Amino acid sequence: MAKITDKQALNTQQPDEKGFFGKYGGAYLPPNLVGVMQEITEAYQKIKVDPTFIEELTHLQQTYTGRPSPIYYAKRLSEAVGGAKIYLKREDLNHTGAHKINHCLGEVLLAKKMGKKKVIAETGAGQHGVALATAAALLGLECDIYMGEIDVEKQNPNVRRMQVLGATVVPVSRGTKTLKDAVDAAFEAYLADPETTMYAIGSVVGPHPFPMMVRDFQSVVGREAREQFIEMTGNLPNYVMACVGGGSNAIGIFSGFLDDAEVKLYGVEPGGRGPAPGDNAATMTYGKPGTIHGFSCYLLQDKEGEPLPVYSIASGLDYPGVGPQHCHLKDIKRVEYVVATDRDALVAFYDLSRLEGIIPALESSHALGYALKVAGSMKSDETILINLSGRGDKDMDYVMEHYPLEAYEEQKLLVK
């Protein structure tokens, strides 16, 4: 198989000393946070090659998360589309129902090894909060989750889950009372007590070392997938596709294939209601370089460089920035970034449910939605591997309210 050179591979895989992937990333921090981030970087660099840490994390992945997650050939779906064969990496089968547990276990284990007593984070829809609260309960650390007051009201089941798991949910009442203000409040709390707490970011975003560290913890998905796919089919997949919010599940699966130049990688961004500002969260498709939350990346921004309000039917995808490594992979053209709209995602949500008995998360449905649009024009000996990042139980109420069954059945979209 054609390999790109080690030098090229290193360029795509590792940030420089300051945490830059090409032009993106870094750590734009208030002076009092510089030392704290440095401490996390140093601890992580040591721990990631420590056999005891690796062994402990691997053991938890196997016995607690349920790794390896299988790869599944979606035969009925593939036949209905009538083109490329579609395979799913089943991250929806993980404990807690999504890929986020992969980096939360890593982050909380790191915090514990650093002697911290508490992990803190912000959450929007609550998915990161629940995964972090789970890992904190498992490893016996305290957990404070900052959440905008509006989100606390909207996401009641996830708030309850976090509380049952022993986390403290801190409602944030300033500003817009949503995710952006929750990030600010969580950072302030972290600054007030960096000795005993660790901030645990929920995607491959934020200041260095988080994009690198969260990526490394998610790369287990790509390592498994490459091996499983070859074992199953004798070949590499022709295409690997994943949805991109902050970009953690996508970089996790891509990292297994970045060095395989012949594998085409597609990151699928949320196209929402369309291209108008405020109607989507397709950062790399419609944004331009800027700075947010301590790092630089493609950003959906206004003329002053302030982040624009964003929208997607999938709450896990509505972030105006994106992981710096993705921005670099876009610029060097190793990964192609495309969009799937709300409607594409909803059709895919029903199609997979009806044809395979798998209800996907609305986030993952974006990757699936794009695949369904292009698979039909591909040859039947071509293969698409999709990272099915999570399950859709959490989305049932929303889908039933906004896109009821009758609407799907009337359109007779894909199911024959």
Ligand X SMILES: *Cc1c(COP(=O)(O)O)cnc(C)c1O
Which residues are at the interface with ligand X (CB under 6 A)?
98, 100, 127, 203, 243-250, 316-317, 361, 363-364, 389-390
d(CA 301, CA 38): 29
Q: How far is the CB of 332 from ligand X (least distance, A)?
A: 20
d(CA 271, CA 299): 15
Nearer to ligand X, 237 or 270 (CB): 270
Q: How far is the CB of 251 from ligand X (least distance, A)?
A: 8
d(CA 180, CA 183): 5
Q: Which of 69, 89, 91, 100 is catalytic?
A: 100
Nearer to ligand X, 371 or 378 (CB): 371
Nearer to ligand X, 71 or 368 (CB): 368
Do 370 and 402 contact (CB within 8 A), yes or no?
A: no
d(CA 233, CA 228): 9
Nearer to ligand X, 80 or 244 (CB): 244
Q: How far is the CB of 94 from ligand X (least distance, A)?
A: 10
Q: How far is the CB of 347 from ligand X (least distance, A)?
A: 18
Q: How far is the CB of 381 from ligand X (least distance, A)?
A: 29
Q: How far is the CB of 387 from ligand X (least distance, A)?
A: 8
Query: Phi, psi at residue 6, to the nearest 5°?
Result: -55, -40
Query: Phi, psi at residue 52, to the nearest 5°?
Result: -65, -40
Do 255 and 220 contact (CB within 8 A), yes or no?
A: no
Do 283 and 326 contact (CB within 8 A), yes or no?
A: no
Do 264 and 409 contact (CB within 8 A), yes or no?
A: no
Q: Helix or strand or coil: residue 201?
A: coil
Nearer to ligand X, 361 or 368 (CB): 361
d(CA 29, CA 32): 8
d(CA 199, CA 186): 8
389 in active site: yes
Q: Of 330, 284, 323, nearest to 25 (Cα)?
A: 323
Nearer to ligand X, 301 or 389 (CB): 389
100 in active site: yes
Q: How far apart are the first and last CA of the chain?
A: 38
Q: Of 275, 244, 238, nearest to 385 (Cα)?
A: 238
Residue nearest to ligand X (CB): 390
315 in active site: no
Do 361 and 390 contact (CB within 8 A), yes or no?
A: yes
Q: Which of 122, 224, 269, 356 is catalytic?
A: 122
Residues serving a catalytic function are 100, 122, 389
